[in-house]
């Protein structure tokens, strides 16, 4: 399998080594802000696109054709493995599950997938992208962190506060703990399968960890994410731990078996750097892309200066559909200045 050059900007920086330039990529960089992506989506649903390796590989490469980014991230969704786990899934526009998983019986009924058999379209997409991708560019695969995955399974769809899953955590701790263990059992085999298919790095997405207290995250949730991060490293890939809600969780993240700590925008980069010497990724506020050009350049430069060399530039969460692609050009120019 073709691999990314370990001395390329992204992989070198992720491992704490010297890089020729500061690398950057953008969470959700293949998405609705690009007109070419909207053209594809006009012809097929989101789930159809995720299941179509040729189309998904093309969409993955779209932002790399426009911008001088240092990594591609596989086009899929953190919940797409749910179907292979025996839970029906549709998108409206976010994930909607056909049943909730909030009892021991429902947890035990979840199937542990064979990635090569049950999630093969994702793996084929990774192989196609890696074949096309320049060796100086890394390919990032990803999985949902078990807590965030559980949020959707318990609630059935998106939520503002994720009250139901937190009630389960406190009111039925045995069910909650068993659910996170089962999710981790289901996702862990996918991690090395993605690496074998060409992914140079694996990022765990804990998009909703910000609703958790420091103690609950550290004792109940982070240990399951750590299993997935270790699986990535054991497979020879860079492991990236993204937590949306870094303000209260940075001490726990600092102890994670990850190469890179990916952080949101809520803490200034200077404070993050003062609290950890690990390689960090982030942390421009996604809405800063709506600033005028001079202010956007100032914000980007300030993050780079505060972060130092052990830094991969990114947003603190996914890019918004309303962003003008020119704003991304400005960010790329400023980071690579």
152 is catalytic: yes
Of the listed 22, 58, 118, 152, which one is catalytic? 152
77 is catalytic: yes
Of the listed 77, 206, 241, 259, which one is catalytic? 77
117 is catalytic: no
Q: Is 239 helix (H, G, I), strand (E, B) or coil?
A: strand
The DSSP code sequence of 19-55 is: -SS--B--TT-SSTTSHHHHHHHTTS-HHHHHT-HHH
Name the token pair of 50.
């995720």
273 is catalytic: no
How many C-beta neighbours within 10 Å does residue 33 have?
A: 21
Residues 6+ apart with CB under 8 A from 169: 176, 216, 220
Of the listed 3, 15, 28, 157, which one is catalytic? 28
Name the token pair of 244.
């949306």
Q: How far, CA to CA in Å, does 12 sit from each of 180, 297, 311?
A: 33, 25, 11
Of the listed 3, 5, 15, 32, which one is catalytic? 32
Beta strands 95-97 and 260-263: pairing type? unpaired
91 is catalytic: no
Of the listed 3, 15, 41, 266, which one is catalytic? 41
The catalytic site residues sit at: 28, 32, 41, 77, 152
């Amino acid at each position: 399998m073709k691999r990314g050059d370990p001395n390329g900007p992204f992989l070198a920086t992720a491992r704490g080594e010297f890089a020729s330039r500061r690398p950057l990529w953008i969470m959700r960089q293949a998405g609705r802000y690009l007109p070419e992506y909207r053209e594809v989506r006009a012809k097929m649903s989101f789930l159809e696109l995720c299941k179509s390796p040729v189309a998904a590989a093309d969409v993955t490469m779209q932002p790399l054709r426009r911008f001088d980014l240092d990594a591609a991230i596989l086009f899929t969704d953190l919940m797409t493995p749910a179907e292979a786990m025996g839970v029906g899934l549709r998108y409206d526009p976010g994930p909607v599950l056909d049943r909730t998983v909030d009892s021991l019986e429902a947890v035990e009924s979840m199937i542990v997938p064979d990635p090569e058999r049950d999630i093969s379209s994702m793996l084929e997409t990774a192989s196609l992208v890696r074949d096309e991708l320049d060796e100086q560019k890394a390919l990032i695969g990803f999985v949902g962190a078990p807590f965030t995955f559980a949020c959707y399974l318990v609630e059935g769809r998106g939520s503002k506060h994720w009250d139901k899953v937190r009630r389960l955590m406190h009111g039925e701790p045995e069910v909650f703990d068993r659910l996170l263990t089962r999710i981790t059992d289901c996702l862990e085999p996918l991690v090395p399968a993605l690496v074998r298919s060409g992914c140079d790095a694996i990022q765990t997405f804990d998009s909703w960890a910000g609703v958790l207290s420091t103690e609950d995250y550290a004792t109940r949730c982070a240990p399951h994410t750590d299993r997935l991060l270790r699986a990535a490293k054991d497979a020879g890939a860079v492991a990236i731990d993204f937590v949306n809600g870094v303000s209260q969780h940075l001490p726990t993240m600092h102890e994670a078996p990850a190469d890179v700590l990916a952080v949101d925008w809520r803490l200034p980069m200077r404070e993050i750097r003062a609290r950890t010497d690990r390689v960090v990724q982030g942390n421009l506020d996604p809405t800063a892309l709506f600033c005028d050009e001079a202010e956007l350049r100032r914000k980007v430069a300030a993050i780079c200066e505060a972060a130092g060399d052990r830094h991969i530039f990114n947003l603190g969460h996914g890019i918004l559909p309303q962003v003008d692609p020119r704003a991304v050009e400005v960010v790329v120019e400023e980071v690579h200045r």
